[in-house]
A and B are shown apart, each in its own frame.
Chain A
Amino acid sequence: MEYVLIAVSAALVNNVILARFLGLCSFMGVTTRIDTAVGMGAATTFCITVSAMIDWAVEHYLLEPYGLGYLRTVTFILVIAASVQFTEAVVRKISPSLFQMLGIYLPLITTNCAVLGVCLLLVEGKMSFIGSTVFALASSIGYSLVMVLFAGLRERLVLAEVPRLFAGPPIGFITASLLALSFMGFSGMSAH
């Protein structure tokens, strides 16, 4: 039950993009088409989950016992960069077509602050290993969900008649704020 609560809270109530405002660059940048949004969501989900698991171990067996809290950001970024590189190699080997589709977005996951943000939130929350894995997975699923939803909205927005001054990013941000407002409806669900 505790894990279900963690998952719902991470995916919907405290959504990475719409409630914590992390990963906004890819949120605006990659969501022009649904298929790229799906690919980005899947790759980011894998990276967040793997790096959160490794970072949990690094935090508990290296940083905390030796009092190296000030090295947290550097070591976490190191782990994230390595896991992204590894993901890239695996995707390239297993599915060349997906690799071609994702293109530049794959290496850019390294600088996606949602990945580092989730890892730092784990440390702040002082979660167990399973709890933190569930939290990371649910957060990244919430991230993918919002990416796909927003990509769908933007695909329709292209066909709409928008005043010239609002065309492009401005109307995108307005739409994002409306989507964030609708996600605020979930805040009544949480026990936290």
Chain B
Amino acid sequence: MLVAVGSLTVMGVALGGLLGIAARLLAVEENPLEEELKAMLPGSNCGQCGYVGCALAAAALAKGEAPVTVCPPGGRAVAESLAKKLGVTADLSLHQDKGPEYAVIEENLCIGCTRCIKECSVDAIVGATKQMHVVINEACHGCAKCFKVCPTDAIKMCRVPVTLSSWHWAKPEVGQYLH
């Protein structure tokens, strides 16, 4: 009886202590700022910033290794909100907001190499080997990754055309009255 109780107690304490030490030694420090920054990024993991996915870009931002203008698809809006969150002033002069874009494949230049299909992060390109490829406009989010890999320069990035349903008045320019 005593041996049974004692041995189980000793084992429990020993294993618990071991796990406690292991947890202390193998602790993974997590930055709460990372989560908040990750939520502000687009989250499509396109990889244009050079990091593997938005989570790693957020980690680099939190450590101060990446500039707030790290995210090209996010554009000016994301850069500004990141700068506000991190309390830094961002140089946005080179960061022109070009507006939403999408990729278009020129049919007579496409050789059907499927490189752009492998690169696309949202599966917006359809096609097969030695068959012409085409971009599904509704799915394309304009990350321009296919544009960079195309060996025959058959892909061009186009501005999303303004239609009756998407046209709006120019926003009032508040800046000149504030300064």
Residues of A within 8 A of B (CB): 58, 62, 66, 68, 71, 74-75, 78-79, 82, 85-86, 89-90, 92-93, 96
Contact = CB atoms under 8 A, between A and B. Distances in A.
Given A66-B3, A85-B19, A93 B28 contact: yes
A68 B3 contact: yes
Interface string B14-26: 0110110011001
B8 A82 contact: no
Given A68-B3, A78-B11, A82-B15, 10 more contacts: A66-B4, A71-B4, A71-B8, A74-B8, A75-B11, A78-B15, A79-B15, A89-B22, A89-B23, A93-B28
Rank and list the top 7 A-B pairs by shortest CB-CB distance, nearest first. Answer: A82-B15, A93-B26, A89-B26, A66-B3, A89-B22, A85-B19, A68-B4
Given A71-B8, A75-B11, A92 B26 contact: yes
A68 B26 CA distance: 34
A89 to B, nearest CB: 5
B3 A92 contact: no
B31 to A, nearest CB: 13
A80 B113 CA distance: 51
The binding surface of chain B is classed by DSSP as helix
Interface residues of B, number: 15
Contact of B12 (A62, A71, A78, A89): A78
A33 B18 CA distance: 35
A162 to B, nearest CB: 26
Nearest to A54: B15
A96 to B, nearest CB: 7
19 contacts: A62-B7, A66-B3, A68-B3, A71-B4, A71-B7, A75-B8, A78-B8, A78-B11, A78-B15, A79-B11, A82-B15, A82-B16, A82-B18, A86-B18, A86-B19, A86-B22, A90-B22, A92-B26, A96-B28
A96 B26 CA distance: 12
Nearest to A99: B28
A117 B163 CA distance: 66
Contacts of A96: 28
A7 B10 CA distance: 34
A78 B15 CA distance: 8
Contacts of B12: 78
A66 B19 contact: no
